Chains A and B, each alone.
Chain A
Amino acid sequence: MTRFLSLTEADRKEMLDTIGVSSIDDLFEQIPAAVRFDRELALEPALSELELVTHLEALAARNAHTGAELSFLGAGIYDHYIPAVVDAILSRGELLTAYTPYQPEMSQGVLQAIFEYQTAICELTGMDVSNASGYDGTTVAADACFLAKHATRRSKVVLAEALNPQVRQVVKTYAPGFGLEVIEVPHRSGVTDPDEFRDACADAACAIFQQPNFLGCLEPAPDLAAAANEADALAVAHVDPVSLGVLEAPGAYGCALAIGEGQGAGNYQSYGGPHYGFLAARSEYIRRMPGRIVGETIDAAGRRGYVLTLQTREQHIRREKATSNITTNQTLLALAGLVHLSWLGPEGLRELGETCLALGRYAKERLQSAGFEPAFPDRTTFKEFAVRVGRPAGEVVTEARRKGVHPGYALGRDYEGLDDTLLACVTEKRSPADVDRLVDVLQEVAA
């Protein structure tokens, strides 16, 4: 018996008698002998809880986490401060161990939380309807393309090159199965040119750009949305939730859909997951939305309650015509996002954005006066920016890390002509003194 099983020998005997068989082996008679596994699983012996913790601590100790070095690494996953209330609420066993709320009377807590999350996402993005989460910031882009294909009946999608490389790669992985052609529009000095974008959008189902983009630069987002709209393509903005206290909402400048990676709001970095993707749309697309949606209603006594609604979109009813095959989503991580956004409030979110802007400006200016030029000097940036370090950036990272500082992401592996360029990210968890240390170390390493 292991520590998670309760059946005693006496229990088992009684149960086998009730069933009418003499041994557990009899229960597996229906498995043909040819496919019976007749040896022990070649797995290491069971560990006690103490041994398990020791083993995992040893594995964890071999990872250089952001507490172990001064980190300026961003590029889509961010070291933001996660408040203690998030941890406290996520450890509530009812929320942690509940299933999808198909039986609404048992799950009003989860359902209301999702309704509140949907509201928060709509507020951030300026949209009318949000789903209950997608897998991450990359798959929601594939979802957006699938939605746009069916809404417009067109089979081409446009992606800005300044959109996160992994987002583009995931869209290109799904595209053949969706029957979609993918066109990329190159960045010009760190941003996307609206005229080039408009030309590419002819006959496109949708066009996706990122704000701020992967290079940290602010795109001419209203112009890009207008460019897509002029071609009757759905304008899709991939946005950072943490930026939406200071940057305009996609719904305010003509987008049909707003998508993104929610991690920065509420989730630890956790070596890349689990996190949550968000997807929000104007009301006319509600029936084409992928994923779960919670709606409000009442019971016979007039009490307000929440239920999964418009389920006819989903796989368990519409099967091969479903708006997506998604079932299990990222509810718990989205709930963490809701808690974090509730902790922030509108003023806190604005202040967080202003802090990132101010620290970013300070970092750029200090680096510039130390001889490290921004790669895109005329561009306004948010939270991160590309800086030239005069040597192959990967080498700079290695040497800086020996001095306890991770200076940022080496962009050369994803973009032409940027082999000497780092994407440095400064969040509210870094201070001006931390920035000074970054500058000092880069000076030492670049020398």
Chain B
Amino acid sequence: MAAAETYPDDLKYHREHDWARVEGDEATIGITWFAQDALGELVHFEPPEEGSQVAKDSSYGEVESVKAVSEVIAPLSGEVVAVNRKVVDEPEIVNDDPYGDGWLVRIRLEDPGEADSLLDVEAYKQVLAEQ
């Protein structure tokens, strides 16, 4: 049921195991394969409200499995324009497809330049090797 371990190379990564897909002045964000694997099957996603602000490196919500709870860290700053309601209803989608259907929120970027400080896939894999 859970996906095979992958880290798409068209994404940017944050060392707290979050990813961002930047498209123009918006970005879609979520958690990486490593994060969903560490938590186990998700049973709950506590999202931010649409219209609220998220700040880079800060928590914007929580994901829970049966035995653990984890904050999700925003890789970039901006305003929440969409929350993935399907994941709110069926959090296990994140385990199945963490980068596709398992996206968590979409934000309008405050400063697209922030993306430059994120890790590319090779640098993120380096972070994983050090875990």
Contact = CB atoms under 8 A, between A and B. Distances in A.
Contacts of A312: 44, 64-69
A317 B68 CA distance: 6
Contact of A317 (B44, B46, B67): B67
A45 to B, nearest CB: 49
B51 to A, nearest CB: 17
A317 B67 CA distance: 7
Interface in A408-434: none
Interface residues of A, number: 6
Interface string A268-296: 00000000000000000001000000000
Interface in B35-73: 44, 46, 64-69
A99 B118 CA distance: 49
Nearest to A307: B66
Interface in B64-88: 64-69
A382 B64 CA distance: 45
Contacts of B68: 312, 317
The majority secondary structure among interface residues of chain B is strand
B7 to A, nearest CB: 27
A65 interface: no
Contacts of B44: 287, 312
A311 B64 CA distance: 10
A287 B64 CA distance: 11
A318 B65 CA distance: 12
A287 to B, nearest CB: 8
Contacts of A311: 66-67
Contacts of B64: 312
Most chain A CB inside 10 Å of its own CB: which residue of B65, B68, B69: B69
Most chain A CB inside 10 Å of its own CB: which residue of B46, B64, B65, B68: B64
A321 B67 CA distance: 15
B95 to A, nearest CB: 16
A311 B44 CA distance: 12
A301 B65 CA distance: 23
Nearest to A321: B69
Interface string A315-353: 001100100000000000000000000000000000000
A318 B44 CA distance: 14
Contacts of B66: 311-312
Contacts of A318: 69
A26 B111 CA distance: 66
Contacts of B69: 312, 317-318, 321
A287 B69 CA distance: 12
A146 to B, nearest CB: 18
Nearest to B68: A317
Most chain B CB inside 10 Å of its own CB: which residue of A311, A312, A317, A321: A312
16 contacts: A287-B44, A287-B46, A311-B66, A311-B67, A312-B44, A312-B64, A312-B65, A312-B66, A312-B67, A312-B68, A312-B69, A317-B67, A317-B68, A317-B69, A318-B69, A321-B69
Given A312-B67, A312-B68, 5 more contacts: A287-B46, A312-B44, A312-B66, A317-B68, A317-B69
